[in-house]
Amino acid sequence: MGEVLDAAAVRRWCRLAADALGRTRAGIDALNVFPVPDGDTGTNLHLTLLAAAERLDGLPEDADAETVWRTLAHGALFGARGNSGVILSQMLRGMADVLGVGGGLDAALRNAADLAYGAVAHPVEGTMLSVLREAAQATPHDADPPVAAWAAAECARDALRHTPDHLDVLARNGVVDAGAAGLCVVLESLAAVVSGEFPETYEVPRRSQDHPPEAPPSGGPDGGAYEVMYLLDAGEGEVAGLRAELDALGDSLVVVGGDGLWNIHVHTDDAGAAIEAGLRAGRPYRLRVSYLDAAEHRPARRAGRGVVAVTAGEGLAGLLEEHGARVVRRVPGHTPALAELSEAIAAAGDDVVVLPDDETVLAVAEAAARRAREDGVRAAVVPAKASVQCLAALAVHDPLRRFEDDVIAMTHAAGATRSGRLETAREEAVTSVGMCRPGDVLGLVDGDVAVIGADPPAVAEGVVDRMLSAGSELVTLIVGDGAPEDLADRVRDRLHAVRPDVEVTVYRGGQDRHLLLIGVE
């Protein structure tokens, strides 16, 4: 098998499977009723394999088979979309573990099935999981590669036809499982590359005419209204705890990956809690939150241009409101509820700019904006990651401009504002500038620790020094509740002495966690 599925063959298979899923995507989407009827399983499988193919395109032509297999699996893990895409990425990892070192297809598919089952919190029969397992069990040992590959593909196709026998929701809707249908396309593409026998078409069964689609249940999908996905840098122990926490929050939980990198997928009613669980376990990034029930009633909206801003400080909330924003207040260290943010956008106007104040809030803001666009609102998210960037964006907001021009101007203003902050260390940790201990004052610039000290004004001065450049014009200081009384005055006095050309503005933000927020424009 190793000679047949060499590096070049793996590349051909990935590209062929991606192209085949692209052609069958719409038909697979039409079958999608489980776990939620959101009609995107084919699309998610296609996008996942496209991401893997793009990673392979970046490899040198002489890369060996093991490198190509690992890159294929890694690309799918990074680009996995939806429940089905995450499971597919784990299947590819299982195959790479075996075929990348010259193993046989039967062992590769068994390993793929084992890893895929292990990644799903509550496996269900009659899905791509059980079809993959049956295909693995039917793959003969020591058979010629084309024989083994076609045996797996043909068994998968037969198992696909029987998925409604195992899953009642499929039988009631007159469909086979959408994820399993996509898996059949992937396995048939593999058999085609191995054997050189390429099918003219890839069959996707249609819905039975005797079974009209069921009406979706009222009140949103069972198990969770939102799909939350993110990549996570974390250790095995932290991920074990995260699994348990997310399992209690929702369903359709799939956790794939290893060696410190994971792809997390869950359906939940509390998207913010799912993201916060990831923050406790490690470093989440590339967060995506999708609303699963587009048919739910939307609140009435008002006409005109509006801005929605998120903040965790009461003083900051008042400041943002003075600048014309509708404010969504969040608890420090937590993300706002997606429903609350969606309602604020709907109430703000026909054209709405959303200003998140943190990287974790950004994913929820983007999901709320997508939901608003489904309801006819022109909503755009400025990728602000700090309150000082929100203020900078609001300063240039002009409701009389064309909406697109206003979004561009606000985005530019936020991006041109460097952000810094002071906070007190809660535990001992290693930072980029050395060890910190509980009680130390940390000075961060654009999210990274730059200064550690005991005196807040001295740390603040060090942060500002690092943030200033020759073109700096405005420094904004937002003082938190726990800050020393003279903190802002000392920073302002020093700036007047060393950079009299820079304007300094001080506000009382009322934030709990950060002693001082600093913006430099």
Q: What is the pLDDT of residue 217?
A: 47
Token duo for residue 265: 């997928």
> For residues 478 and 509, is the Cβ–Cβ distance under 8 A?
yes
Edge to edge, what strands does the sheet with 226-233 contain? 250-258, 261-268, 226-233, 283-291
In the CATH scheme, what is the homologous superfamily, with its name and number, of domain 226-291?
ACT domain (3.30.70.260)
Q: What is the pLDDT of residue 126?
A: 95
Residue 350 above 50 pLDDT?
yes
Band (pLDDT 50/70/90 cuts) for residue 137 is very high
For residue 14, CA distances in Å to 53, 76, 100, 150, 488 come to 6, 10, 14, 17, 58
Over residues 98-129, the pLDDT tens digits come to 999 989 999 999 999 999 999 999 999 999 99
User: Is the pLDDT higher at 198 or at 218?
Assistant: 198
Band (pLDDT 50/70/90 cuts) for residue 224 is confident
CB contact set of 478 (below 8 Å; sequence gap of 6+): 313, 315, 316, 319, 387, 388, 506, 507, 508, 509, 511, 516, 517, 518, 519
Q: What is the pLDDT of residue 467?
A: 92
Over residues 229-247, the pLDDT tens digits come to 999 999 999 999 999 999 9
Bridge partners of residue 264, in order along the sequence: 230, 255
Q: What is the pLDDT of residue 209?
A: 62
Q: Distance between CA 378 and CA 380 in Å, rounded?
A: 7
> For residues 30 and 40, is the Cβ–Cβ distance under 8 A?
no
Token duo for residue 17: 């499977």
Biggest CA-to-CA distance, the chain? 82
Percent of the chain whose predicted confidence (pLDDT) is above 90:
62
Band (pLDDT 50/70/90 cuts) for residue 4 is low
List the domain boundaries for the chain.
Answer: 7-195, 226-291, 305-415, 418-520
How large is the angle between the packed helices 82-99 and 178-195, nearest 10 degrees?
30
Band (pLDDT 50/70/90 cuts) for residue 297 is very low
Query: Residue 434 CB: number of other CB atoms within 10 A?
Result: 9
Token duo for residue 340: 């609350």
Q: Distance between CA 242 and CA 121 in Å, rounded?
A: 12
Mean pLDDT over all residues of the chain? 89
Residue 77 above 70 pLDDT?
yes
Over residues 498-511, the pLDDT tens digits come to 999 999 999 888 88
Q: Distance between CA 287 and CA 266 in Å, rounded?
A: 12
Q: Distance between CA 405 and CA 396 in Å, rounded?
A: 11
| CB half-sphere exposure, 337, CA atoms < 13 A | 7
For residue 23, CA distances in Å to 189, 253, 323, 420 come to 13, 28, 50, 48
Residue 383: asked if its preceding bond is cis (omega within 30°), the reply is no
Over residues 381-427, the pLDDT tens digits come to 999 989 999 999 999 999 888 999 999 999 999 999 999 999 999 88
Most confident of 39-48, 203-212, 374-383, 416-425: 416-425
Residue 299 above 50 pLDDT?
no
Q: What is the pLDDT of residue 200?
A: 81
Instruction: Name which CATH class applies to 305-415.
Output: alpha beta
Percent of the chain whose predicted confidence (pLDDT) is above 70:
94
Of 88-102, 173-187, 366-380, 463-477, give the lowest mean pLDDT range: 366-380
Residue 213 above 60 pLDDT?
no
Over residues 187-196, the mean pLDDT reads 95
Over residues 201-221, the mean pLDDT reads 64
Band (pLDDT 50/70/90 cuts) for residue 366 is confident
Band (pLDDT 50/70/90 cuts) for residue 7 is very high
Residue 275 above 90 pLDDT?
yes
Q: Distance between CA 208 and CA 202 in Å, rounded?
A: 18
User: Which has the closest alpha carbon to 480: 441, 443, 520, 517?
Assistant: 517
Q: Helix, strand or coil for residue 264?
A: strand
User: Is the pLDDT higher at 312 or at 85?
Assistant: 85
> For residues 65 and 73, is the Cβ–Cβ distance under 8 A?
no
Q: Which fold has domain 418-520?
A: Hypothetical Protein Tm841; Chain: A;domain 3 (3.30.1180)
Over residues 289-316, the mean pLDDT reads 72
> For residues 138 and 151, is the Cβ–Cβ distance under 8 A?
yes
Instruction: Name which CATH class applies to 7-195.
Output: mainly alpha
Q: What is the pLDDT of residue 478?
A: 92
